[in-house]
Every structure is written in structure tokens, then in C-alpha cells.
Amino acid sequence: MALADYTSELMATAQALAAPGKGILAVDESTKTIGKRLGSIGVENTEANRQAYRGMLFTTPGLEEFISGAILYEETLFQSHADGELMVDKLGKLGIIPGIKVDKGLRPLGGASAVETLCTGLDGLVERAADYYAQGARFAKWRAVFQITADGCPSELSVRENAWGLARYARSVQESGLVPIVEPEILMDGNHSIETTARIQEQVIQAVYHACFANRVLLEGTLLKPSMTVQGAECSEKADPAKVAAMTVRTLERSVPACVPGIVFLSGGLSEEAASIYLNHMNSIERKAKWNLGFSYGRALQHSCLEGWGGSNVEAGQKALIARAQANSEASRGRYVPGSQPSSDEQLFVAGYTY
Ligand code: 13P
């Protein structure tokens, strides 16, 4: 099989993931990261507890009304629910498309500044993606990370290398029928202004699409997962939601081709409420481009849910998940009324965060 055999399927999957009013649930925390989350509610990081937590998420009644896809970690893609049914079949029953994190994590980028990284996992990726497809996955994710610093990061080397890695990944998984979610995250670490973020984010996203063109990625069969255009977490001047929305939309309009069917934001450490309010603003203002602006949140969909679940309370966990899923669905249509759903204002940003 080759990319040409999957063209129409890739385009249909990307459209289904970017369906208006729906978003993606990012549940692809590595075993180490989910351990931190479980630890925060006093639950031990065992396979049984990961199974119980994620099994609770994937059996939430009505979730499919607001969620089009779920990004899984490899363990979950091949794992069964405690009742013996495969997790992917639980998702399939809800009509939610399973996806898979395919990158193998970040490594230091030799030759660049100490904070700069390279995303790994390209070796054998076409074959790995074919195995994931056979297991039911229909889309993939690869997260490259950029940090803004006063001494010139991201460097040209980091932008080039990470943009190229994202494009090689996108092309590789498309060859095995998976829609690539292209994720160039700009971290919130730092004290830079929102204008600085916008300038650098434009360069980064433009570099990503130049690399995608060079690698003949089928853009109609991809989604972009950017961070929102916000100031650094330590910047004293905080932009209001209207400014964040205007700057984010401007950045994307300057750098994302019109043929990309959907843009699904990561939450990146924003609070649950802020992630919904910013998305709502973006979908309330005049825009030049027509792509669907949705969500692919991890922390901003799971924070209250994890606390509600607390290790065993399935009903409370599912109730909190549905509340945030519905809020973000409304926000993706510009219809969210802040505070209308239970949420947390707690800043989820952690300096030096690793996924
Ligand atoms: P956050 O929304 O918690 O940033 O996670 C999304 C994600 O998938 C990061 O790669």
C-alpha cells in the first residue's frame, strides 16, 4: 500500500475528526506522565489503575456528541477494558475514532541550546503505523516542542529540524493510512510578550508547511494542533481573551494553508475555563479562513474529571468529563457561556513540563 491508496480515506478521516462542534480527547500521556496525574489524586501508577481510569473515560455515555476522536498511548491501543472488551472497541461503539501517539519522545538537540529538543521515532514508522492501523487506529500524533528564550531560542536549527521531523512523520503515517496530527507546540515557559510569541509561532508554522510541501504530505488529510498565541507564563502583561483570540487567528491566517481541514488546539497548561473561553472567542470573531477551529485537549479536558474520579468514582469522573467536553464543543461554535458548566480555574501550567 502507498499513500495514493489511502487518499480518499485520509481526507474523510480528517474531515470526521474536524467535524463542527466536536473535538479530540488527548489521553496519550506516557506511562511516566500518567503516573504524575494519578499520583496527584493518590492513586498508584499500575496497569490496572490506568485501565480503570481510561476505561471510565471511554465508556462515558453521550461522549460521542462532543468528541470525534481520542488519542491513545500504545499501551491503551492494545489494552482491554476490565470487562474484557478492547478499549478501541469501546470507542468504536461510541463512534469515536481511535488515534495513537507515535513519537518516541523528546531528546536533546545536539548543536543547539540546552533547552532545545528533537522529537524522535521516525525509524520504522511506516511499519509501526501499519500495525496501529491494523489494530484500529485511524490517526496519529507527533509533538515537537519549541521554547522561547531571551537568548535566541528557538534557534534556526531547532525550527528546521523539528519542522522536517513533523513533515517526515506526517508523510510516513499517511503511507499507512493514518491521518497525522501535526503538533508544533510553543511552550508557555518564559517572560516574553504575546507579540513575540506571535512572531515566532508564524515562523515555526510556516517552516512546518514548507517542509510538508517538500515531503508531499497530503494536507487535506492532516490536522494542525498548535498552542494558542499567548504571552509567556512569567510575562507581567496578561492579554485578555479578545487579544489572545485575535492574535491566534492572525498567526494562523498568516501561516496555515486553506486546504488544511481543521485546527485543533492543545491546552498547554491553560486552566480548563481559560481554554474554553479563548476557543469561544476565536469562534466568535470575523475570520478570513474557513478551517474549523476546535480542540484536542489533554489537561483541560481531564483535570476535573481525574479529581472527580479519584480512583473509583466512575459517575463523578464521567460527569466532569462530559461537562468539559460539552463546554468546548459549544466554544468551538462560539456559543459557550463562561461558567455555565462546572470547571476549574486552576492554572495547569508547570514550568519545564514534559509530556
Ligand atoms: P494538553 O492539552 O494537556 O496540552 O495536552 C494535549 C496534548 O496532546 C499535548 O501533546
Closest C-alpha among 154, 159, 157, 143 to residue 115 = 154
- Strand, coil or helix: what is 94? helix
Cis peptide bond N-terminal to 154, omega within 30: yes
- Residue 265 near ligand 1, beta carbon < 6 Å: no
With 90 as the cut, is the pLDDT of residue 344 above it? no
| 235 contacts 193 by C-beta, under 8 angstroms | yes
- Residue 298 near ligand 1, beta carbon < 6 Å: yes
The pLDDT score that the predictor gives to residue 246 is 98
The pLDDT score that the predictor gives to residue 354 is 66
CATH code assigned to 3-331: 3.20.20.70
Nearest CA to ligand 1 atom 10: 143
| 189 contacts 238 by C-beta, under 8 angstroms | no
355 or 313, which is more confident: 313
Residue 19 carries which side chain, given as an amino acid letter?
Answer: A
Structure confidence at residue 211 as a pLDDT band (50, 70, 90): very high
- Residue 322 near ligand 1, beta carbon < 6 Å: no
Pocket test for ligand 1, best of 188, 299, 304, 321 (most atoms within 8 A of CB): 299
- Residue 187 near ligand 1, beta carbon < 6 Å: no
With 70 as the cut, is the pLDDT of residue 114 above it? yes
Lowest mean pLDDT among 29-43, 69-83, 229-243, 330-344: 330-344
- Strand, coil or helix: what is 213? helix
With 80 as the cut, is the pLDDT of residue 255 above it? yes
Each residue's pLDDT tens digit, 185-201: 999 999 999 999 999 99
Nearest CA to ligand 1 atom 8: 26
Each residue's pLDDT tens digit, 287-341: 999 888 999 999 999 999 999 999 999 999 999 999 999 999 999 999 999 888 8
CA of 218 to the centre of ligand 1 (A): 24
Q: How far apart are the first and last CA of the chain?
A: 32
- Residue 55 near ligand 1, beta carbon < 6 Å: no
Each residue's pLDDT tens digit, 89-103: 999 999 999 999 999
The residues assigned a catalytic role are 183, 225
- For the chain, strand residue ranges (E) read 23-27, 67-72, 97-101, 106-108, 117-119, 139-146, 179-186, 223-224, 262-265, 292-297
| 171 contacts 218 by C-beta, under 8 angstroms | no
Residue found under cell 494542525: 224
The pLDDT score that the predictor gives to residue 54 is 98
Mean pLDDT in the chain?
96
The pLDDT score that the predictor gives to residue 355 is 62
| 261 contacts 14 by C-beta, under 8 angstroms | yes
Pocket test for ligand 1, best of 297, 353, 354 (most atoms within 8 A of CB): 297
Burial degree of 91 (CB within 10 A; 0-12, 13-18, 19+): buried
Closest C-alpha among 298, 294, 293 to residue 250 = 293
% of the chain at pLDDT higher than 70: 99
Alpha carbon of residue 232 to chain centroid:
19
CA of 267 to the centre of ligand 1 (A): 6
The pLDDT score that the predictor gives to residue 340 is 86
